[in-house]
Amino acid sequence: MQESELKALISLLDDDDSEVSSHVEEQIISIGSDIIPFLEDHWEQSFDPRVQTRIEDLIHSLQYELLKDRLQIWVESKDQDLMEGMWLVATYLYPDLELSQLRKNLEQIFYDAWTEFKDDLSPIDQIKILNGVLFSKLKFKANTKNFHSPSNSMINMVMESKKGNPISLCTIYMLIARKLNMPVYGVNLPNMFILCYKTDEVTFYINAFNRGLVFTKEDIDHYLKNLNINPDPKFYEPCTNVEFIRRSYRNLMMCFEKLGEFEKMEEIKVLMNSISGELLN
């Protein structure tokens, strides 16, 4: 469709006839996300709040459909890159967020860690250095005051505010650790998300939500016992990147539920259920 035709189509959104505007909206949705810049231009030129709201809803619908498509492509990709997955989570609220900018921000955090890192140290001492950089030097910390804020699941906002929930902090921690060639992985526990340092010779666990506290398998045993949950091998082993993303969506869904934003909650639920993975409370 030519640019002039797109603009003419969008102008029909101003029509007071609900049947006409409804038909126009269906046509706009069928065109896809390429029409978004033209919708944004028309929004700026319109002085009718009803038309502006109609355009905002259309843009959100188009961006949401684009997100679903991108998420499916990510799930079907070979590596299921974790940063890209967290970027997709964040684009629900920040659709214009650039993945390249997130990677630049992560690179700066990595540089701060790399300048202090030493390959010849023991695993525990390496973790101590990384903890010092992330939690003392860069001031990352748990957002306990606003634990249920959606921003805690937005990787861009966590990098900016230095405050997050267990999974967003674990994500940043693991991405930096892996760039330092450390065998650090996510572990999907009930009611908690943690990390493990795992090789053939040594395994221990890390709580990024508690300033990188190191603990053991026995500590997990006690934790599960207190919850009256039987031990399961998956509670001690690395999880997939898909599980990171599903857990992030689960957290975000619960945030919107607590805020009473049930329409957003349902949209997130659709995204969460569109990808496979082990989901724990």
* Distance separating alpha carbons of residues 21 and 13, to the nearest angstrom: 5
Q: The tokens of 89 are what?
A: 């989570």
Q: Which of 127, 235, 215 is nearest to 173 (CA)?
A: 127
Classified by CATH at the fold level, domain 3-76 comes out as Leucine-rich Repeat Variant (1.25.10)
Tell me the mean pLDDT in the region 197-208: 95
Q: Report if pTM > 0.85.
A: yes
- In whole angstroms, what is the distance from residue 92 CA to residue 256 CA? 12
Reading the block at residue 123, the tokens are 């695993």
Element (H, E) at 65: helix 49-76
Which residues in the chain are classed under CATH 1.25.10? Answer: 3-76
pLDDT at 263 over 60: yes
Tens-digit pLDDT profile for residues 115-158 = 999 989 999 999 999 999 999 999 999 999 999 999 999 999 99
CB 123 within 8 A of CB 202: yes
